[in-house]
């Protein structure tokens, strides 16, 4: 609160069953992980995220898929669900990871790696970062994921306080007092934003 966002480099990580990361400089979005469709970017619940375009034609030939078939595969049968073979729900993935399920462990590692990769890329695009925001169902509640994503990013000035990071679904700063980059959790309120935008349009 009371942060002059028009003078900040901010990377909001909106992570849920779907997810995207944005690079914001001085109050304006300069890049986002989603492309023309939501498939590009992060690994998601059932979407594959970034993939070599050559893989798509390879799969179409190998699995005899038409355009609708490949669309269904990359949108509905991939992502965390496809990799883990367990679920698209990160709570179920965490349970499977604790039980030692190797595919679930792999899926979680890929999921976290993609988030970390985009944070690094956008920090480079922005010329540094002042604030990282975790929001969305997973970003707000999966404390282990936030810790893993921020692990070994000390060189960027990112340090998580383990005690502060235990909080779920509350607006809070989870970085240490000495960290150069503020890492915050902000619960999303998409319904309120939709209502505000609707009121502006009809008003």
Judge whether 42 and 21 are in contact, CB under 8 Å. Answer: yes
At 190, the pLDDT band (50, 70, 90 cuts) reads confident
Percent of the chain at pLDDT exceeding 70: 100
Judge whether 13 and 150 are in contact, CB under 8 Å. Answer: no
Burial level of 159, CB count in 10 A (0-12/13-18/19+)?
A: middle
Judge whether 150 and 184 are in contact, CB under 8 Å. Answer: no
At 31, the pLDDT band (50, 70, 90 cuts) reads very high
Mean pLDDT of 103-109: 98
CATH of the domain at 190: 3.30.420.40
pLDDT of residue 143: 96
Judge whether 33 and 118 are in contact, CB under 8 Å. Answer: yes
pLDDT digits (tens, 9 = 90+) for 122-139: 999 999 999 999 999 999
Mean pLDDT of 111-120: 98
Q: How far is CA 76 from CA 13, 39, 41, 115, 156, in A?
A: 22, 10, 15, 20, 35
Domain of residue 155, residue span: 5-202
DSSP state of 125: H
Across the chain, mean pLDDT equals: 95
Number of domains present in the structure of the chain: 1
Q: What is the DSSP string of 142-153?
A: -HHHHHHHHTT-
Exposure string for 5-26, b = 16+ CB within 10 A, e = fewer: eeebbbbbbbbbbbbbbbbbbe
């Amino acid at each position: 609160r009371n942060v002059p966002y028009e003078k900040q480099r901010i990377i909001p990580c909106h992570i849920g069953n779907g997810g995207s990361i944005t690079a914001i400089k001085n109050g304006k979005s300069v890049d986002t992980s989603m492309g023309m469709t939501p498939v590009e970017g992060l690994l998601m619940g059932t979407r594959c995220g970034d993939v070599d375009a050559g893989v798509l034609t390879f799969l179409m030939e190998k699995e005899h898929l038409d355009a609708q078939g490949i669309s269904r595969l990359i949108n509905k049968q991939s992502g965390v669900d496809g990799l883990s073979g367990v679920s698209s729900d990160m709570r179920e993935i965490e349970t499977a990871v604790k039980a030692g399920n190797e595919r679930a462990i792999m899926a979680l590692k890929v999921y976290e790696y993609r988030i970390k990769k985009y944070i690094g890329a956008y920090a480079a695009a922005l010329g540094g970062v002042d604030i990282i925001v975790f929001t969305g169902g997973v970003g707000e509640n999966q404390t282990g994921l936030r810790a893993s994503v921020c692990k070994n990013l000390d060189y960027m000035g990112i340090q998580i306080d383990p005690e502060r990071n235990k909080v779920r679904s509350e607006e809070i700063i989870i970085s240490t007092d000495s960290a150069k980059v503020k890492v915050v959790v902000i619960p999303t309120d998409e319904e309120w934003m939709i209502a505000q935008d609707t009121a502006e349009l009809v008003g």
